[in-house]
């Protein structure tokens, strides 16, 4: 079903990009009814317009607060062209076939910190009314609320002699109802916030169903907000569609490399980094990250913060004649890929190749949905408050900004922040200055178990580097003595310190803040261990 556009109403606070549309409407013989400023701008293009007052029979009034709301105008939008045609004719109502409207820029003024009076004047009343009326009657009336649709509408109008298909009008209708809902929600939230009684309304209009949820027996969906770059619309260069669990792990991988400098690589399993490194060379970063826990890396998501090269992609050994040497990962995500790297990675048909900048996963708020409730918090962006040595033993190096020790502490904070609580990580630097995760303990009910898991994993990582015939234990203990053990929260007891000392670790970093801090510090002094406090906790539940 197609209806030709013979009369259109245009009322635009933002008239950017409107010229091709209005010229097309004019060329097709469409009468353009306009409000004040919109009419003046269209007339300046040399095109005829009809002022809205000739339709409503009323002038604009009250400083522009009353322009479009009227029986004549809303009737022209709302009446059913088949059922109500005779009644409309009796009432002298001529149909309007298209509404093009951009609402008052409330969001712009809100963002600028405008006062209450300015905000009130930028609450559009007539605009949402005409948009909703046109959208309700979409079978006969087309409605455009987004300038991004101008070109598509122009093309269709030109191809179909001034008509729009029912499919196009339905799509525009759905977009319009989402738009007016978001507009009203933004106003309501702003007013509640100013009153000190915050409310929350989230909008994710772009959605699709996934093959399953976290488990096969669960349904799953992914939604995007339709404006900001999101994983819901991630650019995929190869591989199977993303699953529910893939999305969660890809997010964890991007978060892990987001704040790291140089070339960074994260190997993520069940949202935890089992490998993490940043180095001057991307391939080296990938090799060291994978070496952090090659067993757990099986079926992982691998993320980079720089464009992936062919040399780096080849670290997966996808074409190795010995199948056991091929690294199995379910997704590789990076800001971009060299074409040769994409070609190489596509050798594995199921491997998901994703283009996404880690900077895009830096949220202004974090949300966790509970049954009939929602938790909201600011993101954890403060790595430390102060770095203080709280023991008699002093570190090998100073903590000044930019020093190797400071950089390693920062790397340890980033790694610990990404590991599920209770979290303990062991990090170290290589001879050429690469920083890497040797081992981590995640998600344990008590911290000493996380500590022991991190130590065991770090020992295995170091032991794997020892050539046959060398003294493995000496190499491992030396490596641990040069490493940092980092806890994302305070030590409630000295037991983790004892475990660290027994393994040969000489430096521990933790927030401090326990009622037993002095006991923990004293135990470090007894064992000759350096302890550095940060004043900042990094729980991740």
Helices 244-258, 404-418: axis angle to 10 degrees equals 160
Do 334 and 429 sit in the same domain of this protein?
no
Same domain, 493 and 514: yes
Q: Last residue of some domain: 333, 361, 389?
A: 361
Q: Tell me: do 355 and 379 sit in the same domain.
A: no
Task: Report the length, in residues, of the chain.
Answer: 541
Contact (CB, 8 A) for 354 and 237: yes
Residue 351: inside a domain, yes or no? yes
DSSP 292: T
User: According to the model, what pLDDT value does residue 469 have?
Assistant: 64
376: which residues sit within 8 A by CB, 6+ positions away? 200, 365, 366, 367
In a domain, 63, yes or no: yes
CA dist., res. 538 & res. 541, Å (int): 10
Domain range enclosing 55: 3-194
Same domain flag for 386 and 458? yes
| Contact call for residues 288 and 433 (beta carbons, < 8 A) | no
What pLDDT sits at residue 53?
86
Same structural domain, 242 and 292: yes
pLDDT of res. 206: 83
Asked whether residue 326 is assigned to any structural domain, the reply reads yes
Is 169 a member of any domain? Answer: yes
Q: Are residues 349 and 441 in the same domain?
A: no
309 and 424 assigned to the same domain: no
Total tally of structural domains belonging to the chain? 3
pLDDT of residue 517: 94
Q: Kindly state whether residue 408 falls inside one of the protein's structural domains.
A: yes
Beta-sheet pairing, 3-4 with 163-164 = antiparallel
Same domain membership, residue 427 and residue 314: no
Residue found under tokens 């493995």: 472
Q: What is the pLDDT of residues 216-227, one digit of tens each?
A: 999 999 999 887
Write down the pLDDT at residue 241: 95
Token pair belonging to 5:
């556009």
Asked, for residue 314, whether it belongs to a domain, the answer is: yes
Give domain status of residue 210, yes or no: no
CATH of the domain at 488: 3.40.140.20
Q: Which of 165, 194, 223 is the endpoint of a domain?
A: 194
Of 319, 341, 361, which residue sits at a domain end?
Answer: 361
Whether residue 299 sits in one domain with residue 445: no
60 and 122 within one domain: yes
Are 410 and 480 within one domain?
Answer: yes
pLDDT computed for residue 392 by the predictor: 95
- Stretches where the chain sits below pLDDT 70 are 1-2, 469
Sign of the alpha-carbon dihedral angle for 461, 465, 468, 472: negative
Q: Which residue has the tokens 């933004």?
A: 186
Residues 443 and 520 in one domain: yes
Q: What is the pLDDT of residue 394?
A: 94
Provide the β-strand partners of residue 206. 224
What is the longest distance spanned by two Cα atoms in the chain?
102
Q: Assess if residue 150 is contained within a domain.
A: yes
């Amino acid at each position: 079903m197609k209806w030709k556009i013979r009369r259109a109403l245009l009322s635009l606070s933002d008239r950017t990009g409107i010229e091709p549309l209005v010229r097309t409407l004019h060329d097709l013989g469409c009468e353009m009814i306009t409000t004040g400023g919109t009419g003046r701008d269209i007339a300046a293009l040399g095109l005829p317009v009809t002022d809205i007052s000739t339709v409503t029979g009323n002038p604009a009034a009250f400083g522009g607060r009353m322009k479009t709301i009227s029986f004549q105008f809303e009737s022209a939008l709302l009446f059913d062209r088949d059922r109500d045609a005779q009644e409309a004719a009796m009432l002298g109502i001529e149909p309007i076939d298209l509404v093009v409207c951009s609402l008052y820029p409330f969001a712009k003024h809100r963002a600028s910190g405008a006062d209450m009076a300015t905000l009130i004047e930028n609450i559009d009343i007539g605009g949402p009314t005409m948009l909703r009326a046109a959208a309700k009657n979409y079978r006969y009336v087309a409605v455009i609320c987004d300038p991004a649709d101008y070109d598509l509408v122009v093309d269709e109008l030109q191809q179909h002699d001034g008509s729009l298909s029912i499919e196009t009008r339905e799509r525009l209708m759905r977009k319009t109802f989402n738009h007016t809902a978001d507009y009203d929600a933004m106003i309501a939230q702003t007013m509640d916030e100013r009153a000190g009684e915050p409310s929350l309304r989230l909008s994710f209009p772009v959605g699709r169903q996934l093959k399953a949820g976290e488990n096969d027996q669960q349904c799953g969906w992914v939604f995007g907000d339709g404006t900001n770059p999101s994983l819901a619309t991630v650019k995929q260069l190869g591989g199977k569609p993303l699953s529910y669990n893939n999305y969660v792990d890809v997010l964890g991988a991007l978060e892990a490399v987001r704040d790291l400098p140089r070339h960074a690589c994260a190997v993520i399993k069940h949202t935890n980094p089992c490998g993490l490194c940043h180095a001057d060379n991307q391939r080296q970063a990938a090799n060291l990250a994978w070496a952090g826990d090659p067993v757990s890396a099986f079926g992982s998501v691998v993320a980079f913060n720089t464009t992936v090269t062919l040399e780096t992609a080849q670290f997966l050994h996808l074409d190795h004649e010995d199948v056991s040497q091929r690294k199995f990962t379910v997704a590789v995500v990076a800001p971009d890929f060299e074409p040769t790297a994409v070609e190489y990675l596509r050798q594995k048909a199921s491997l998901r190749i994703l283009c996404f900048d880690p900077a895009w996963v830096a949220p202004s708020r974090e949300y966790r949905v509970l049954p009939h409730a929602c938790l909201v918090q600011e993101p954890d962006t403060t790595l430390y408050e102060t770095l203080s040595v709280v023991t008699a033993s002093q570190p090998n190096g100073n903590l000044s900004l930019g020093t190797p020790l400071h950089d390693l502490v920062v790397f340890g904070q980033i790694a610990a922040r990404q590991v599920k609580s209770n979290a303990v990580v062991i990090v170290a630097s290589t001879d050429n200055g690469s920083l890497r995760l040797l081992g981590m303990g995640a998600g344990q009910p008590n911290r000493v178990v996380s500590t022991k898991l991190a130590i065991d994993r770090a020992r295995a990582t170091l032991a794997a580097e020892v050539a046959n015939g060398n003294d493995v234990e000496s190499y491992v203990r030396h490596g641990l003595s040069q490493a940092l053990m980092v806890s994302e929260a305070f030590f409630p007891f000295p037991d983790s310190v004892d475990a660290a000392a027994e393994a040969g670790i000489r430096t521990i970093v933790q927030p401090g803040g326990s009622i037993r801090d002095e006991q923990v510090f004293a135990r470090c002094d007894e064992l000759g261990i350096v302890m550095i406090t940060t004043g900042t906790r990094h729980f991740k539940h």
